Structure 1
Amino acid sequence: MPNYTFSVNGKTVTVDAPADLPLLWALRDKLGVKGPKYGCGIDVCKACTSHLDGEKINPCVVPVSEVEGREVTTIEGLAQGDKLHPVQEAWLEQDVAQCGYCQPGQIMAAVALLKKTRNPTDAEIDEIENVCRCGTYFRIREAIRSAAAKM
């Protein structure tokens, strides 16, 4: 099998894997990065949302061969040491999580949105397609607004 070298949360890693192995499985099974969750495997639920070179992706449908030489950021890579990212802080302040399963992906989608739009409208927030089975969408919206105000 070929080797693929890329960066995950600021650290260079090498993975021995088939070219078509979804990045999600390289992260979770080969590298032990458990933040991105498996939900559907077909880019629908978006529980695995992460960033590739600063852009939002769903690693369940991105082959590991496509990340060679690139930067992958997962929920584990947002905090700077003990200092949480403003979106993570807002999530805690707004008590967003219930079961918490989708929250890493939700947070990564929110970070991507706030990178592009400093003060998103409700319509822009509603364009986030990540599924929350617990239905905490109102608190997610409030957390995004709160984080936007801090950033």
Structure 2
Amino acid sequence: MQIIVTLTDALFVLTGIGVIQFLLGLWIKARIESSIKSEYDKLLEDYRFDLRTREQAAKAAEYIALARNLKLTSTEADYCRANQLAWELALWLPDDLYRNLGKALASPSPDNNILSVLIEIRKLLLKTPGTLNDTEVIHHAQNVRAIRSLGS
């Protein structure tokens, strides 16, 4: 049995192969673009999370620094700012951590103090918080020349 291929049949087969090759190229290109877009979207999401984390950490640190230095002679603006920050923290800090913050400011103890609360907030905000503990946090005190931690 002999198969006879005419020029028209050969052109038809070659055109079909060309169309299939073109469609496969479009599909592969779309898959690669989708993969790259997905990767960059993830990186952008991580970057935005990091920015938000830094903002929240800055608010917590600002509040703690402001609240622990409030005095009866502090200005109305200081009290307004402290309230604003305290209320913002109440919106996102977990209940126990927010309560511990209040207790650390009102009546610090060796187990619950400003530095231990900072470490807990750090653990909450960071994906990999590391091993830093409250005795290693730098702390400045009035009339002390050297930087010291609370534990020393």
Which interval holds the TM-score relative to the shorter structure? Answer: under 0.3
Relative contact order, higher structure (CA 8 A, sep 6+):
1
TM-score (norm 2): 0.27
TM-score (norm 1): 0.27
- Compare CA radii of gyration and give the structure with the larger one: 2
| Higher strand residue share | 1
